[in-house]
A and B are shown apart, each in its own frame.
Chain A
Amino acid sequence: MALSRDMSMEQAVEMVETLLDGPESRFPLSFNSDLPRIRELFHTATRSQWDPQKDIDWDKLDPDAYTQEQRDAARLYWSRRAWSEYGAISESPALQVRFGVEKRPSDMQLFFTIRSQEEARHAEVCHAMAERLGGYVEKPVEELFQGSVSTHGVRRAALSADIPLEGIIAALVCTAEEIAFDVFKHLDRVTRDPVAKQIVRFIMRDESRHCAFGWYFLEAICDTLDNEQKKMIEDSVVTMMEKVELNGYHSAWLAPPNPASNAEVEADRITYEAGLGATVEEAEKPVFIATVQRIRDQMRPLGINLPPFSHPKLGTI
């Protein structure tokens, strides 16, 4: 690839009002642990680091044990997982910037430093799996599907002073990451290939902390919020559900039916049947519904009341 500045010059830009538009004012600078449960997550993550190169038993993966069709489907599935994890590397750091600008408890910044590293490990391991199954695929098979997997808008929201941080965390972490975590638990049950299963477990272990971060934060902050602020949180969660999750960001079968998403769904089915890591609509549907119901139940005591959600394939949850 040529490294040419002309390439950058062609790229579109946009003018955005952000919370970085004013002068920086970092003092007083405190590193007190105001959210000790989140500080402990940072310390646990520090103790629990793993390395995709060394800690995965790659020699237990036998691609030849699978048909060409299964390998092709699985490499697309693991590539898609890599795109999804990359989304967190690309967008979530904006939240860390915001924690600093808004002088949120330092525990949040510290934890997010290692969270981003974990997302990098996840992207790395998913890419490595795709490579071993025949080669990483660097974009969706059909362009139509890019809309479902390209972004969930975290960066823009995180940099906007008009969108409350509480809503972003409720939507991104307590909703989207909870769904992802439950899917990983489900994948752990249905995946038979030992290496695929090992990868799922390593990622799941990290994701459990990511989810805990969100709930610890919400539980700490919700008592200080008024009804209007809680309504804004509800709106953020609804947007995440309707525009991102129910649009197929994590689960291809939820994406609007078109040739592109159909191809992804078919690849997932072949991968699932081979035990290489994916799942399918009929197996995941009850998991997805239970997760949404659990999220609703968990938010209710915090004063956040989620409405019913509808999707042609799920009915009303």
Chain B
Amino acid sequence: MNAPVQTAEARELALAGMGASRLRKEDARFIQGKGNYVDDIKMPGMLHMDIVRSPIAHGRIVKINKEAALAIPGVHAVLTADDLKPLKLHWMPTLAGDVAAVLADEKVHFQMQEVAIVIADDRYIAADAVEAVEIEYEELPVVLDPYAALQPGAPVIREDLAGKTEGAHGKRDHHNHIFTWDAGDKSAADAAFDKAEVTVSQHMYYPRVHPCPLETCGCVASFDPIKGDLTTFITSQAPHVVRTVVSMLSGIPESKVRIVSPDIGGGFGNKVGIYPGYVCAIVASIVLGRPVKWVEDRIENISSTAFARDYHMDGELAATADGKITGLRVNVVADHGAFDACADPTKFPAGMFHIVSGSYDIPAAHASVKGVYTNKAPGGVAYRCSFRVTEAVYLIERMVDVLAQKLGMDKAEIRAKNFVKKEQFPYTSAFGFEYDSGDYQTALDKVLEAVDYKGLRAEQAAKRADPNSPTLMGIGLVTFTEVVGAGPSKICDILGVGMFDSCEIRIHPTGSAIARMGTITQGQGHQTTYAQIIATELGIPSEVIQVEEGDTSTAPYGLGTYGSRSTPVAGAAIALAARKIHAKARKIAAHMLEVNENDLDWEVDRFKVKGDDSKFKTMADVAWQAYHQPPDGLEPGLEAVHYYDPPNFTFPFGIYLCVVDIDRATGETKIRRFYALDDCGTRINPMIIDGQIHGGLTEGFAVAMGQQMPFDAQGNLLGNTLMDYFLPTFVETPHWETDHTVTPSPHHPLGAKGVAESPHVGSIPTFTSAVVDAFSHLGVTHLDMPHNAFRTWKALREHGAAL
């Protein structure tokens, strides 16, 4: 107690708790190349797996000849669906209530589908052996367009579902129909349209894209034939769910299955699903009794593991003549590929698409989503967004622009007119979501002022008046609301497991701590930010708090990291686990200071006796006491576990503005300015928030300006290498300006809402809004993505604006 007395502020600063821009704990190992990714894992006796894939998009397997492959020295096994049949592992359940072929069973349904696996001494021998497996196919007609797939005479994609008129999400009325999902009130919406003074409608296609994380998917499966237990290192955003599924599929008790997600090089939804490669590697390891590694290459990643989007959308708005929206109708045809493997909460086959009423107070709304099978790879994951929120935000933001254009109103003005007002929160939308909090107008005003919106519009008018202007100038504006933090287990589950999340905190005798979580970081910086939450809650410096995730044998059960759920759900679990510890610590401190609990005040890192600053016990003092001599009637130790089941989703929002200059000669679009204001509620680490926003904006830029997965008529995917698939580097990426407001979530223990996906969700329609705005004086209401130079140049020519 002889140390110089530090002020509370100084002590708080030293904790590096919530609100501090603490440097990322993860970076030291990553920038030195010392991360530990799945492909870094080497085990004694490890074999390598490679996959034989279908060259065609639809066909029957006539014959498979393994002999030549098996004759290659170093090849241990070649397995096909027929080999998996006795184990009943040739098909597996998907997260969406469908089944997917592990290895093609009699038929191939999409190009690059897994047909056989080869296990060999090394990756090179495996790759050679893949070429030696001879497969004869009988080609079948290919269906790639979901509208064509729904025609009466369309080829049957899923023969295994013959006669099944009931799917996981209700009636199927066609052999290629998966489900039709409705939300909102159709008759109320129809009535709004009947009475409307103005209506607008717009068709738009949200292209199939791929999250394309830097690290592809893979695993190392290691079955111990003596102990009978299975350890699998895997690129998974949800290791606990993988453990449950693996146990259910293999029959190995969950207690003997250990799933570890080591360092993950980006996920963005691509690493939520269970892929055939994982299942095959596990089976191979069980069969051969040796560790088996499978790591897909880039082409396999883009071609066969989960894609995102592929929504064909029709939107309609009804409004009064002065621009008050009275009704919304949405019809979507969703291309899910050959198996329905969307990663959505079980009851929501179109995810949270019904956030489609956006930030606007729309009294009547209805949305209908029809899922369709086609001869493409399965997927339909949330690519850096909460489930299907990107599609929903894109639709409503485009529609509001279209309406503004029809009415000759300004984009900002029509938005302000229709906002859910600050005093309306908590606000229940026409689709039944209860928005927790928001203040859209304040945020919009802040952005318009920051960019001098009026000045920009004046500049645009001047450019339009000049026929020799070399560029078309466009201003995009989006005022979006996200729904994240899935979710309340009474409505949200994955394979029957509620979408809670968990945290276990142990304070060690000398006052440092370890926290273990059910989530898994893939670049979000959990090891940094989670420690900050504990630091603030318990007064322990974040430097001495260790955060561990991803190992199912040590971490408490959790549903993983996707849909911006880590902070809203796991972050809350941390706070509440810490508060359990805090309550016990208070009892111990009271005992140590010989006062009543109620006579103690908590200040930063210590319990103080009210009115006497010199009498206090720090959390470190308390921890020692807890292990050394706990008060009578209290258990020794200082730890807690909390499973947090969120009462509601959280609703972060943002106001994004983008200025583009389109070269009238080349169609090249220059992003002159991009201003992103985000409100994610309470901010835990502003530096990490900025980093997440930069990343999300960059991925949004990628989607809007270049990413697509084009197929030719035969179902060949023509964009599955990084030569074709656009991943922006710092060369292409524009400069981002970020800003924020803070509107805490009232139901979250910390008030935090989650942020990583907002910039992706919000930026994509902003780019489209800007590009279309550049053409709006020519009567253009919508242009589909991607807005690459060639497509934009064609639009310039079509509308007589090319130089």
Do A and B truly interact?
Answer: no
